[in-house]
Amino acid sequence: MIAGENSMIWNERYECMSRDEMKEVQGERLREMIERVYYNVPFYRKKMQDLGIEPSDVRGIDDLDKLPFTTKQDLRDNYPFGLFAVPKSEVVRVHASSGTTGDPTVVGYTRKDIGTWSEVVARTLSACGVSRDDVIQVAYGYGLFTGGLGVHYGSERIGATVVPISGGNTKKQIKLLKDFETTVLACTPSYSLYISEVLEEMNIDPKDLPLRVGIFGAEPWTNSMRKEIEEKLKIKAFDIYGLSEIIGPGVACECEHQTGLHIIEDHFIPEVVDKDTLKPLGYEENGELVFTTVTKEALPLIRYRTKDLTILHPDKCSCGRTSVRMDKVTGRTDDMLIIRGVNIFPSQIESILLEMGETKPHYMLIVDRINNLDTLEVWIEINEEYFSDEIKKLQSLSMKIKHTIESTLGVSVKVKLVEPKTIQRSEGKAQRVIDKRKK
């Protein structure tokens, strides 16, 4: 099917097959993958032998829970190419994630893997209504990060006109948005907000731009943030999900109904497990998302723990796709802050701040431990009109924010209102938490 015609489903056979048929496809691909991994990756052979299982024990996806998990640490321990299942001569590309500490995580692709990646990104872009008639400006970073090149190849696959500008250089981004009549912007949600600010500074009304769709991912963002971005840029904003270990962007994406993200399940089998006990959970239960990549050749991963928290929904979507949908990821197990015993996700504070309406979508959380007591300080930019107000008004606004956060989260906070544009803007992934306790 040619995307851009009457349907926006790129691969109807796989995206709309019955649940039973999907289970068959997944089972067959899983058996084949386990066989390959067992004989080609000593790390997995040992893990399976330790658990007393052989490839013949895996008959279908109901046997998934017999298999071992894989973690980011396993990739690090086997740095750089220890988990590859093919000889290096078969690998046509590598990417790597920036490790803040220690070795980066390296991922590899065969020629077929690059084809698979283009296919899955093509499906996700089509779900967002992108077609060959669009001009897509790819403002994700190009390089070792998978964002730029991943979206790039998928966009070419559907025949859109790709503008490979990469991240940063915001004034030039805006010039090209105008001159090239860009209709689709792909970048991190935080960078799209920064672009909207610079547009404002340049006195350009987003309504005068042909831009209509945003493909945003690579960091968790809330629906309140979506509303903010849609209003500021006058576009429809879609959430695209992916991670380099699984393939990069293109693992899942929203459709026009935006009731969760459709997972490309014939390539990536999802599970949700309890984040502490690792026991598999059912549909509609909240837990850690785990993927098994059944078609990847260079770096097939068994039950990779993403650390992202979500819920899976199996019911059919009104768009016609039958794939399982995952909730928008707004928290990661390693994002969770424990403040005096209370679990808090930065996304909860983001929602509260944005829904109040008096502040800008730019904030910072500073966590510290003073006299053995955890402290949480929220820095938040307020709208210009409030900043010129008298001190008394500012104090009452700050008290209002403090009370709202405290009554919602049950933990005491210190609120600091800062001038517009004080908090550092990001051209890639935003850093919103400074945890001084981790020093």
193-222 positions binding Zn ion, by CB under 5 A = none
Binding mask 235-274 for Zn ion (x = CB under 5 A): --------------------x-x-----------------
Find the radius of gyration of the CA atoms of the chain.
22
Nearer to Zn ion (CB atom), residue 257 or residue 414? 257
Select 96 or 251, whichever has its Cβ closest to Zn ion.
251
Least distance from C-beta 240 to Zn ion, angstroms?
A: 14
Cβ closer to Zn ion: 95 or 321? 321
Q: Which is nearer to Zn ion, 9 or 174 (CB)?
A: 9
Helices (H), 289-432: 346-356, 384-387, 391-409
Q: What is the DSSP string of 313-376?
A: E-SPPTTS--S-EEPPP--BTTT-EEETTEEE-HHHHHHHHHHH-SEEEEEEEEEEEETTEEEE
For the chain, how many residues are written?
439
Distance of CA 362 to the CA centre of its chain: 19
Which residues share a beta bridge with 93?
109
Beta strands at 135-138 and 161-163: parallel, antiparallel or unpaired: parallel
Contact 381, 362 (CB under 8 A): yes
Taking the complex as a whole, the smallest distance from the CB of residue 187 to Zn ion amounts, in Å, to 23
Is 125:8 a contact under the CB 8 Å cutoff?
no
Q: Of 227-235, 315-323, 366-374, 406-414, which part binds Zn ion (CB under 5 A)?
A: 315-323
Beta carbon of residue 70, minimum distance to Zn ion (angstroms, whole number) = 29
Would the CA dihedral through 278, 280, 284, 285 be positive or negative? negative
Contact present, 266 and 251 (Cβ < 8 Å)? no
Q: How far is the CB of 50 from Zn ion (least distance, A)?
A: 40
Q: Which region among 157-165, 230-238, 316-324, 338-346 touches Zn ion (by CB under 5 A)?
A: 316-324
Cis peptide before 80 (omega within 30 of 0): yes
Q: In angstroms, how far is CA 316 from the centroid of its own chain?
A: 23
**Interacting span for Zn ion (CB under 5 A) from 53-61, 184-192, 321-329, 372-380:** 321-329
We find the least distance from the C-beta atom of residue 143 to Zn ion, in angstroms, to be 32
Residue 7, number of CB atoms within 10 A of its CB: 13
Tokens 């306790």 -> residue: 437
In sequence order, what are the beta bridge partners of 369?
374
**Closest to 110 in 3D by CA, of 300, 306, 302:** 300
Q: Which is nearer to Zn ion, 59 or 257 (CB)?
A: 257
Residue 319 binds to Zn ion (criterion: CB under 5 A): yes
Pairing of strands 184-187, 213-216: parallel
Interatomic CA distance for residues 309 and 328, integer angstroms: 9
- In the complex, the smallest distance separating the C-beta of residue 260 from Zn ion, rounded to whole angstroms, is 8
**275-314 mask for Zn ion (x: CB under 5 A)?**
----------------------------------------
Q: Where are the alpha helices (DSSP H) in 335-390?
A: 346-356, 384-387
Indicate whether 75 belongs to the interface with Zn ion (CB under 5 A): no
Cα–Cα distances in angstroms (integers) from residue 393 to residues 56, 57, 381, 396, 422, in the given order: 70, 68, 15, 5, 20
Question: Total residues at the site for Zn ion (CB under 5 A)?
Answer: 5
Name which of 22 and 317 has its Cβ closer to Zn ion.
Answer: 317
CB-wise, 264 or 405, nearer to Zn ion?
A: 264
Nearer to Zn ion (CB atom), residue 258 or residue 286: 258
Q: How far is the CB of 254 from Zn ion (least distance, A)?
A: 8
In the block, residue with structure tokens 């020093």: 439
Q: Minimum CB separation from Zn ion for residue 137, in Å?
A: 25
Query: Which of 121, 177, 252, 317 touches Zn ion by CB under 5 A?
Result: 317
Site for Zn ion in 367-396 (CB under 5 A): none
Cα-flanking dihedrals φ and ψ of residue 188, to 5°? -75, 150
- Least distance from Zn ion to the Cβ atom of residue 82, Å: 38
Residue nearer to Zn ion on the CB measure, 225 or 317: 317
Least distance CB 128 / Zn ion (angstroms)? 11
- Quote the least distance from Cβ 323 to Zn ion, whole Å: 8
Identify which of residues 272 and 319 has a Cβ nearer to Zn ion in the complex: 319
Residue whose C-alpha is closest to residue 106's, from 140, 154, 146? 146
In the bound state with Zn ion, the residue whose beta carbon lies nearer, of 321 and 328, is 321
Residues of this chain that bind Zn ion (CB under 5 A):
255, 257, 317, 319, 321
